[in-house]
Chain A
Amino acid sequence: MAAYLLALRLGRWGIAGFGAVAFLVTLLQAAGFYKIAGRTEAERQAFGRSISVLASQFTVIIAPPIRPDTVGGYVQWRAFGFLAILFAIWGLASASGAARGDEDRGLVGAILAGGLSRPRMITARFAAFATGALVAALAASAGMLVGVASGGETISTVAALQAALVLAALGVCCYSLTLLFAQFTSARNSTAIAGVILLALFLVNSLSRTFDALVSWRWLSPFHYYEQSSPLTPGGTLDVRAALVLLGIAAAAAALAAFAFRYRDVGSPLISLPTPSRRPSYQMSRSPVWRIPVLRDLYERRVSLLVWTVGLSALGALFVVLTKSIVKPLLAIPELAPYFALFVNGNIYASFFGYIWFGFAQLLMAGFAITQVARWSAEDSDGRLELILSNPVSRARVVIERLIVLTFGALIIAAVSGVAVGIEAHYQSIQLNSRRLAEASLLLVPFTLVFGTVGALLASRIPRATVGILGAFAFASYLTVELGPIFKLPVWAQDVSAFKLYGQPLTAGTDQTGLVIMLVIVIAGLMASALVMERRDIGA
């Protein structure tokens, strides 16, 4: 029981965070449905047809909706489809942390030294995550019920509970599978390898909707069993058998993980290849990279920078392809005109691409800034900043160097992804104004720096709470812009969003006012964070 409570305590922030996000997502989608779907039967049917056409272009990623003309069908598709991916990621991160991250931190050794057996430890971790996933999934259902109530309608509570159950089962299944994969990999690679396998399982299921050759393999994927249930749609049910398969996979994978854990050394994978012996070296690195400020920090984080650059470039190119395949059929549907009117003006392809890609790219760049800020906070709490400042360097220099590194990092990502988008747009015969594409890409840099400088200020003042606050700010800003037109939020409320400052540079050119405000925030944030850093206690 103590191990279970400890595991719950270790995961409490994850439960609270994912629970809050799940609640908000379903609440906003359910409430948003009444804003955009209309009130009459005819309006809703037209809306449902539009969504079905729109969704048919995304079946490579998410399953097509069932009865999107109803709030249940819409939320099942729009919110619970997204939450399935989110819970899978949560399971992945949580399990790799529990299986290997805690070993690196010495926590597993300490717990085992207390007399707890390895299988019981795995059982406690599994039970704690299952509890947390169920709580967060129930929060999702609660959000939906509140959202539906806001529209003056009702939906079956039993159906809502069933949706929560299946969602939690999927999260637990991904958790157990990661727990199992982590037994066979080094601590360093466990998240990446488990992530690749889970992604492959996801793609096997989602691509099987397009490629018949994969149909015979989708029984392998937990996502396939998740999609068998759609309790929120009218006439939909919980597929008990599929749900039991999910839980069965979860239990079997956890049992196997516990079995493998019994036979491996703590800190090592179950099977490890012997490393060749080599002569020790007592030489300091002579690489000139370490002598050049900024360059040394960029070099140190070269792998993550490469991943961000390649990832954003690939996604940008993918969005170009999607734009082509989505817009063309949609233009033929007259009912979609009012839906698009909310978001699109001018050249439909450029507008659509600018809206979906640069809106998403902003969110990703905010994420990039947050990961850098998280690193600054970690440097403070783990003592690295203390060691850096034991050298003759000023604190202001540390702040400035960090932001220059962030600037160059953002510049590399924005420039390369901009070029990738330009090239793909050329191949897809989509006319994008080159100058505006360059502006839109480069504007991502000051946008990233807004989050960076706000983060630097927070990291200088309250390093341990920085990531949470900044993440919440980014998420709220994104939601304000994305949902502002749907919920008809007042203009001033939408203007508060950091995403609003970026504007629509691909179609409307650079928003000079927004740019100036961003630069003012960056300069003020830089000066304030340097000032606060000079006066604060390190490691406090």
Chain B
Amino acid sequence: MDVAAIQTSKLSKNYGQGRGLFDLDLHVEAREVFGFLGPNGAGKSTTIRCLMGLIRPTTGSAHIFGLDCIRDYVSVKRKVGYVPGEMPQFGSLRGSEVVAYLGALRGGADLISVRRLAERFNLDLSRRYREYSSGNKQKLAIVLAFMHRPQLLILDEPTSGLDPLNQQEFFALLSEAREDGATIFLSSHILSEVERMCDRVGIIRSGRLVTIADLDELHAIRFHHVELDFAPGTEVPVNAIRSAAGVEEVVASDHTVKCIVKGSFEPLLDALRGATVNNLVSHEPSLEEIFLEYYRETAPTKAMTP
């Protein structure tokens, strides 16, 4: 049996006043893509910093490929590529020098690998770090994390600052890393991002793991706010919409209908058949709304702990 890529047991970091991370039990299999989802301040970065051995847990333990994250922190880093939540300052160093500097700390970086990654993201390494935009700094962080083909990638909100095209490129890179056998631990506060890449998703809130869901469960959790604008003269099929599966909280006024759609859009679209819809707007709820919805539905069985 393969050793777990990440294993935490009752991992806690107590900053006092209810802040921190509490009793986190995680088990991430090797070659798994695990999403770690939570709103800002939920404890995602604290978890990652414990895994990276940057902060010492108050209680509990964390292991990466069987190595203790605190005791064996140097050996752990040989297996890990890391994108931090925020890139530090490197002042007047050029991108090429930052890569050489940090690559040397690993005992050397692969020139070809660096070149391929930089070309892929169109990252000009001859420019000084201070001239980089936030997107370019994030690209550099990605180059640094991937350049040595690590067994485990720990990525703290890796797409922040990237434009949509580079986000696409990043997800393609993640897919390739996954095919090459890497384990990926992807922290994010964007539901669609983790949904797109991950086998399983851990949801954290107020420092506590709320649930670990697979993709099907995730789809069940997610919902959309939908607003329909009907053409004048069209009979608004309010009753059909109300009776459509997965459609809730329907509010109709004049030619506008607002509702929530859980799961597939198919039943709603069936209910609209024959009506002229001028405009249909759908947007994802915030994570907080998802949590409230999740707790509302599971309140009898799952206690919400701060």
Contact = CB atoms under 8 A, between A and B. Distances in A.
A226 B165 CA distance: 60
Interface stretch (B123-131, B209-217, B271-279, B281-289): B123-131
Contacts of B103: 284, 290
A131 B253 CA distance: 60
A291 B84 CA distance: 23
B75 interface: yes
Given A280-B127, A539-B49, 4 more contacts: A282-B124, A283-B114, A383-B84, A538-B55
Contacts of B88: 379, 382-384, 386-387
A278 interface: yes
A300 interface: yes
A388 interface: yes
B125 A391 contact: no
Contact of B108 (A104, A291, A537): A291
Given A382-B88, A383-B88, A278 B126 contact: yes
Contacts, number: 118
Interface in B114-151: 114-115, 118-119, 122-127, 130, 144
User: Among A282, A286, A535, which residue has the most Cβ atoms of chain B within 10 A?
Assistant: A282
Contacts of A540: 55
Interface in A161-197: 188
B90 interface: yes
B78 A283 contact: no
B54 A538 contact: yes
Contacts of A40: none
A386 B115 contact: no
Contact of B84 (A284, A378, A386, A535): A386
A538 B103 CA distance: 21
A283 B115 CA distance: 5
The 9 closest A-B pairs by CB, nearest first: A280-B124, A383-B88, A282-B118, A384-B88, A290-B100, A281-B126, A391-B105, A537-B55, A285-B100
Interface in B195-217: none
Given A383-B87, A384-B89, A282 B54 contact: no
Interface string A367-389: 00000000000110011101111
A235 B302 CA distance: 85
Question: By DSSP majority rule, is chain A's interface helix, strand, loop, or mixed?
Answer: loop
Nearest to A282: B118
Given A287-B100, A382-B89, A391-B106, A281 B125 contact: yes
B104 interface: yes
A88 to B, nearest CB: 26
User: Among A188, A286, A386, which residue has the most Cβ atoms of chain B within 10 A?
Assistant: A386
A540 B14 CA distance: 13
A392 B55 contact: no
A212 B78 CA distance: 69
Interface in B71-100: 73-75, 77-78, 80, 82, 84, 86-90, 92-94, 96-97, 99-100
Contacts of A296: 101, 104
Contacts of B82: 387, 390
Contacts of B52: 386, 389-390
9 contacts: A104-B130, A283-B111, A392-B78, A392-B106, A393-B105, A394-B73, A537-B49, A537-B56, A539-B49
Given A382-B88, A383-B88, A384-B88, A282 B102 contact: no
| Chain B: number of interface residues, binned into ranges | 35 or more
Nearest to A390: B82
Given A391-B77, A394-B74, A282 B123 contact: yes
Nearest to B115: A282
A281 B124 contact: yes
Interface in B147-192: none
A394 B144 CA distance: 19
B228 interface: no
B74 A284 contact: no
User: Among B52, B54, B94, B115, which residue has the most Cβ atoms of chain A within 10 A?
Assistant: B54
A369 B78 CA distance: 33
Interface in A365-424: 378-379, 382-384, 386-394
Contacts of A537: 49, 54-56
B221 to A, nearest CB: 32
User: Among B80, B92, B104, B114, which residue has the most Cβ atoms of chain A within 10 A?
Assistant: B104
Contacts of B126: 278, 280-281
B109 interface: yes
Given A387-B88, A537-B54, A283 B102 contact: no
Given A393-B74, A537-B56, A284 B96 contact: yes
A378 B78 CA distance: 26
A290 B55 contact: no
A385 B87 CA distance: 11
B10 to A, nearest CB: 19
A143 to B, nearest CB: 38
Nearest to A297: B101
Contacts of A388: 102, 105
A379 to B, nearest CB: 8
A236 to B, nearest CB: 48
Nearest to A535: B56
B145 to A, nearest CB: 8
Contacts of B53: 389
A284 B105 contact: no
Contacts of B99: 284-285
A391 B102 contact: yes
A382 B105 CA distance: 19
A539 B73 CA distance: 17
User: Among A281, A286, A300, which residue has the most Cβ atoms of chain B within 10 A?
Assistant: A281
B53 to A, nearest CB: 8
A286 B74 CA distance: 26
B182 to A, nearest CB: 16
Contacts of B102: 387-388, 391
Contacts of B93: 300
A482 B108 CA distance: 50
A290 B77 contact: no
Nearest to A303: B92
Nearest to B85: A383
A378 B89 CA distance: 9
User: Among A291, A300, A390, A539, which residue has the most Cβ atoms of chain B within 10 A?
Assistant: A390
B54 A386 contact: yes
Contacts of B115: 282-284
A535 B49 CA distance: 14
Interface string B43-64: 0000001001111100000000
A285 B111 CA distance: 9
A383 B77 CA distance: 17
Contacts of B108: 291
B152 to A, nearest CB: 12
Contacts of B77: 389-393
B162 to A, nearest CB: 18
A378 B90 CA distance: 11
B126 to A, nearest CB: 4
Contact of B101 (A290, A389, A535): A290
Contacts of A378: 89
User: Among A284, A391, A393, A537, which residue has the most Cβ atoms of chain B within 10 A?
Assistant: A284
Nearest to B120: A282
Interface in A277-334: 278, 280-287, 290-291, 296, 300
